[in-house]
Amino acid sequence: MFHHRPVLTGLALGLGSSVLALPSLAADPAEAVTVQAHGPGPDADTPPPDWTVTVGGGGLYAPAFLGSGRMKATPLPYVAVTWRDTLLLDPTGLTINAFAASGLRAGAVLRLTPGRDTKDDRKALTGLGDLAPTLDAGGFIAWEPLPWLEAAVELRRSVVKLSESRDKSLNRFGLNEKIRAAEGWSGDFTVGVKAPPLLGHRLMLGAEAKATWFDESYMRAVFGVSSAQAGRSGLKAFRPSGGIASIGLAADATVLLTEQAAVTLTGSYDRLIGDAAKSPMVARGRGSKDQISVGAFVTYRFGG
């Protein structure tokens, strides 16, 4: 069974002063190892454990922030906790499956959404100020018509700003200006597929097509340029409308070393479109419409 997972491309986790863009993990290492431990075979009738904890780490090579043309390599710890088919807590946040019947599932989510810091790319961000990370709350609906196919829609709204970000420039009163977080609505539509387990249930393959949507408020926070920012950065003022911000593809492969240990390789490509691609932050070489992420993780599962 698929476990609903968010589109992670463009999501970032602040690690100290660095910001990391994460690709999609269509076949989560935690899920893949569980399939190995409880897949077809002598123990096929053994129910999976109530709790599993998967820990590990790896690295990602990804844009410094959404829309950036600067790539950045960053180490990343990986921790995921699952409870039955109901709860998943991982680096992206919390997913709760509240309803499941006849291939349909629905539930609630809490997601970490990245900010950005001028020092991530001074050439591109000087004069634009910082953007605070946020905690977003929302829900999802997922449909699994076939064991290898799932479509899902997730909608979220920013509810908590996790830090106070300030502009590095002074306003006309000689004071630092607060920069708003990416507040508003955002959402993802995904269609994921996974291959049957290969090599004696030791190789898991998954892929995903995705589209990401921002409302007007969210789009302006991430890709807009206010009059004040235009004056400080030299960019043209830009007031984007809401709409689809990106479309993309992601894939991953998980190799099970033992019933508990796994190695996952993951990659994704997203193309900024619409007003996101027209932003002065992205156009004319200041950033990039093409957002590519690759990564590798080693994980170990406890439980079961």
Percent of the chain with pLDDT over 90: 65
> Sign of dihedral through CA atoms 68, 70, 71, 72?
negative
Structural domain of 244: 11-302
**What is the torsional sign of CA 119, 122, 124, 129?**
positive
pLDDT computed for residue 28 by the predictor: 53
pLDDT in tens, 135-145: 999 999 999 99
Q: Two tokens at 102?
A: 């006849």
Over residues 234-255, mean pLDDT:
97
Asked if residue 16 has pLDDT above 50, the reply is: no
Mean per-residue pLDDT for 259-273?
98
**Does 106 score more than 70 pLDDT?**
yes
Q: Is the pLDDT of residue 262 over 80?
A: yes
pLDDT for the residue 129: 83
Whether 36 and 54 have beta carbons less than 8 Å apart is answered as no
pLDDT of res. 78: 96
Task: Scan for tokens 């002598």, then name that residue.
Answer: 42
Distance between CA atoms of 168 and 184, rounded to whole angstroms?
Answer: 24
Instruction: Please report whether residue 241 resides in a domain.
Output: yes
10 against 142, higher pLDDT: 142
pLDDT of 231 over the 90 cut: yes
pLDDT exceeds 70 at position 23: no
Residue 5 lies in a domain: no
pLDDT of residue 12 exceeding 70, the answer is no
Residue 82 in domain = yes
Q: Is residue 218 part of a domain?
A: yes
With respect to residue 56, please indicate whether it lies within any of the assigned structural domains.
yes
pLDDT in tens, 120-178: 888 888 888 888 899 999 999 999 999 999 999 999 999 998 876 454 444 443 434 45
What's the angle, vertex CA 143, arms to CA 141 and CA 149, rounded to 5?
135
- Maximum average pLDDT range among 2-11, 153-162, 267-276: 267-276
Mean pLDDT (whole number) for 200-209 = 96
Identity at 119, one-letter amino acid code = K
pLDDT number for residue 289? 97
So what's the pLDDT on residue 180? Answer: 56
> Rounded to an integer, what distance in angstroms lies between the CA atom of residue 269 and that of residue 248?
5
Distance (Å, whole) CA 278 – CA 284: 9
Residue 157, beta-bridge partner list: 137, 185
Q: Which of 14-28, 72-86, 153-167 has the lowest mean pLDDT?
A: 14-28
The pLDDT of residue 48 is 65
Question: For residue 253, what pLDDT is reported?
Answer: 98
CATH code: domain of residue 247: 2.40.230
Query: What string of DSSP letters covers the chain?
Result: --------TTEEEEETTEEEEE---SS-HHHHHHHHHHSSSTTTTSPPPSEEEEEEEEEEEEESSTT-S-EEEEEEEEEEEEETTTEEEETTEEEEEEEEETTEEEEEEEEEE--B-GGG-HHHHTTT--B--EEEEEEEEEEEEETTEEEEEEEEEEEEE-S--EEEEE-TTS-EEE-----SEEEEEEEEEEPPPBTTTTEEEEEEEEEEEE-HHHHHHHH-B-HHHHHHHSPPPB-PPSEEEEEEEEEEEEEESSSSEEEEEEEEEEEE-HHHHHSTTTTTTTS-SEEEEEEEEEEEEE--
CA separation for the pair 241, 224 (Å, rounded): 9
Mean pLDDT of the chain: 84
In a domain, 3, yes or no: no
**pTM for this model (two decimals):** 0.83
- Count of structural domains within the chain: 1
The reported pLDDT for the residue numbered 24 is 40
Does residue 4 form part of some domain?
A: no
In a domain, 54, yes or no: yes
pLDDT of residue 45: 56
More confident residue, 38 or 69: 69
